[in-house]
Structure 1
Amino acid sequence: MFYSSENELKSNQSAISNFYDNTLTKSYLNTPYGQLFYAYAIPKNPHIAIVISSGRIEGLEKYKELLWELYNNNYAVFIIDHQGQGRSYRHLKNKHKGYVKRFEDYAADLHLFNKEVVDNYWQGKKVLVSHSMGGAIAFDYLAHFEHTFSGTFLSAPMLDIYTKGTPKPLAKLVASTATLLGFQYSYALGQTDYTPDEFAINTLTSSPIRYELFRKAYKQEPKLQLGGVTYGWLHTTFAFISSVNKLTVNIPLYIASAQNDEIVDNSAQYKLANRHENTILESFADAKHELFFERDEIRQPLLKSLYQFCESVTI
């Protein structure tokens, strides 16, 4: 297998950009509410398709390296920018505000993308790969819609979130009350427009080069920027989190847990693994939240596990 490395990442930027510009097919999927941006690429001899459900504040541009890497390993790749993210439509006048009317709307979009795009261009075996909020969306989708995925790989899935200094019951009460009083479009306390942290204090990755490239892409293309969450987003997300224990997925699951995660609550991942049959949970030591963008000594074992999982569920 080919693994992209930090040492060669800057010198490989021209190859990655060429892949993005000339190999990836990029387009928009129409929905009743707005357009969803997506892309796909199918190599000459693909054996499996990987469909990516990315996380909050993420979009296609952030996944260039991973898509290029997967493609070079003969995987067909499909990815969508969720509503309110990346180049897809956003609900509010202030495009930085993270908002969704119902958390279930994300899964409905993923279903439409799978039906209208993925299944139109790919009829072979496929695995659903996701990160963070995208993992919550993937789990919700698999539990509610008919599909033909052979398995799902969940990187640091958002099955519960940290509320930092605020007790969770109080955070839930504040979000529901604010929404009830008509403040669903207002930033939750402490949330602001897009503000990039310095690498030294970031909670996302310990890879300087991958963090630098992520922030550089968002600086060069302000349309990709997304700020904090609204009370409405928090309220519907807490409702989804409360429903997780009632949901069942009938295909193999692989949960990649980041040991030093400060974004999602890992205990929810262990609860899901303990109650769900045919599940592998692997914790990656010293890893921050964004496993696909971590330094090589974390990221390469993660990708090795991804490839092994894909092969095991598509025999």
Structure 2
Amino acid sequence: MFYSSESELENNQSAIEEFFENTLIKSNLKTLHGTLFYAYAKPANAKMALVISSGRVEGTDKYKELLWEFYNNDYAIFIIDHQGQGRSYRHLKNKHKGYVKDFQDYSADLNQFTEQVVNAHWQGNKALIAHSMGGAIALHYLATYTHDYKGVFLSAPMLNIFTKKVPRFSTTLAVNIAKILGFQYSYAFGQKNYIPLNFDLNVLTSSEIRYKQFRQTYHATPSLQLGGVTYGWLHAVIKFLPSVDKLNITIPMYVAKAEKDEVVNNTALDKLANSHENASIESFKDAKHELFFERDEIRKPALKSLYTFCESINL
């Protein structure tokens, strides 16, 4: 199995860019609300397909290294930029503002993408690979729509917001009041337009080179940039999250937990895994939130677990 490494990442950039520009097929999917960007690639001897549901702020461009790696390991890959981020349509005049009207709109998009794009180009076994917000989207999709996915690999799924020292009740009350007063399109308290934080201030990864490449990608293409969340986005999330506990996922599930996550609440991940007999959970030592963009000593074991999981369901 091939693993991309930090030490070779700069040397491999030309190969990664060549793959991204010339191998990856890019197109757009028209939905009732707007146009979504997506991409896919199928190696000649693909063993199965991996369909990626990325996290908030993320998109296809950020996943270049991972897509290239999956492709070189003979996996067909499909990825969609969720509404309001990446190269997909933005809801508001200020395109930096994170907003969604209803959280379930995300899973409706994923269903349309699966039916009209993935299933049109791939008829073999497939798995959902979902990170953070994309994990919540994937879970709702799997419990709501008819599908034939063989399994789902969840990387630090957003099942509960990490509110640190602020009580959840206080956060919910403040967001509900803001929505009632008509501030759903306004930034939530402390949120602002895209700002590239220095590496030593970030809570996403401990891999300096991968973090810097992410920031360089967004600097080179400003249209990818997304700022903080609005009260409307928070309201949609807070309204949706309690339903996660009631979702019944019948296919095999693997939950990858980041030990030092400061973005999502890990207690909710344990609860999800314990409530499903078909679920496995693993905590990755010293990992921050973005397992796919971590240091090699964290990222490689996480990817090994992903590949082992995929092999177990590819029957």
Match of 2:302, SS?
Answer: helix
Aligned partner of 2:105 in structure 1 is 105
Aligned partner of 1:155 in structure 2 is 155
Shift of 1:109: 0.2
**Alpha-carbon distance in structure 1 between the residues aligned to 2:27 and 2:279:** 34
How does 1:165-180 map onto structure 2 within 5 Å?
Answer: 165-180=165-180
Residue 279 in structure 1 maps to residue 279 in structure 2:
yes
Shift of 1:196: 1.2
Deviations 1:150-197 (A, max 9, x none): 000000000001123321111011111111111100110000000111
Aligned partner of 2:245 in structure 1 is 245
Q: What is the one-letter code of the residue matched to 1:189?
A: F
Aligned partner of 1:22 in structure 2 is 22
Q: What is the one-letter code of the residue matched to 1:178?
A: A
Q: How many residues align?
A: 315
Deviations 1:258-292 (A, max 9, x none): 00000000000000111111100000000000000
Residue 299 in structure 1 maps to residue 313 in structure 2:
no
**Alpha-carbon distance in structure 1 between the residues aligned to 2:27 and 2:121:** 13
Runs of 4+ in 1 over 3 A off after TM superposition: none
**Alpha-carbon distance in structure 1 between the residues aligned to 2:264 and 2:87:** 24
Q: What is the one-letter code of the residue matched to 2:24?
A: L
Aligned partner of 2:311 in structure 1 is 311
Could you tell me which runs of 5 or more consecutive residues in structure 1 were left unpaired when the two chains were aligned.
Answer: none
Residue 58 in structure 1 maps to residue 58 in structure 2:
yes
Shift of 1:242: 1.0
Residue 138 in structure 1 maps to residue 163 in structure 2:
no
Aligned partner of 2:91 in structure 1 is 91
Shift of 1:201: 1.2
Q: What is the one-letter code of the residue matched to 2:50?
A: I
Shift of 1:240: 1.2
**What is the aligned-residue RMSD (CA, Å)?**
0.6
**Alpha-carbon distance in structure 1 between the residues aligned to 2:185 and 2:251:** 36
**Alpha-carbon distance in structure 2 between the residues aligned to 1:18 and 1:89:** 26
Aligned partner of 1:10 in structure 2 is 10
Deviations 1:34-93 (A, max 9, x none): 100000000000011000000000010000000000000000000000000100001000
Q: What is the one-letter code of the residue matched to 2:285?
A: A
Percent same amino acid among aligned pairs? 64
Aligned partner of 1:36 in structure 2 is 36
Residue 114 in structure 1 maps to residue 114 in structure 2:
yes
Q: What is the one-letter code of the residue matched to 1:188?
A: A
How does 1:252-291 map onto structure 2 within 5 Å?
Answer: 252-291=252-291
Shift of 1:148: 0.4
Could you tell me which runs of 5 or more consecutive residues in structure 2 were left unpaired when the two chains were aligned.
Answer: none
Task: Give the TM-score normalised by structure 2.
Answer: 0.99
Shift of 1:33: 1.2
Aligned partner of 1:129 in structure 2 is 129
Q: What is the one-letter code of the residue matched to 1:91?
A: H
